[in-house]
A = this chain, B = another copy of it.
Amino acid sequence: MKSCVWQQASNATDITLDQAHAALEAAAKKAQEIQTKMDIAIVDAGGNLKAFARMDGAWLGSIDIAIKKAKTARYFDMPTGEIGKLSQPGKPLYQIEVSNGGLISFPGGVPIKNAQGTVIGAIGVSGSTVENDHTVADAGANAAQSGGGRGVTGKQ
């Protein structure tokens, strides 16, 4: 019984690589549907990089932006675009972007939650318009809960 509890514990508080790959695949699939090429980054509950993929032809400058979007979404447990609304000139969080080694405050970063609603990581997407970036990130975040990704481990 106890091992069951601890296994749940592990799953509950941090994203697994299988979940991260499920998010990457769903995001890339959505990116193709809307005919875009994206950089996609996944960070864990601690804000540390867990998985990353740059689709062929996607912007080089979006590598860093995708990673920073994922970190920003986890750092404040909200979509990155929400922060951007507050960081405009004259708004409460003006210039927050210079903190944490550089934040990205426009859409494309989304927290990843488990079935219980606990934040277990985040996804950041960059490579198109911010609307498209957000759409793709959202698709990835939703898929992460299923955790059915074909991982790099070769196991189903």
Contacts and interface: CB of A to CB of B under 8 A. Distances in A.
A117 B44 CA distance: 21
A54 B52 CA distance: 9
Contacts of A68: 99
Nearest to A155: B32
A145 interface: no
Interface in A73-123: 74-77, 84, 87-90, 92-107, 116
Contacts of A76: 59, 61-62
A75 B61 CA distance: 4
Number of copies: 4
A25 B152 contact: yes
A55 B153 contact: yes
Interface string A114-146: 001000000000000110000000000000000
A105 to B, nearest CB: 6
Given A53-B51, A54-B50, A103-B98, A130 B64 contact: no
Contacts of A103: 61, 98
A21 B55 contact: no
Given A52-B52, A61-B72, A61-B99, 17 more contacts: A6-B116, A8-B9, A9-B10, A10-B13, A17-B53, A17-B56, A25-B152, A29-B153, A40-B152, A44-B54, A60-B75, A61-B74, A64-B99, A64-B100, A87-B94, A92-B129, A98-B104
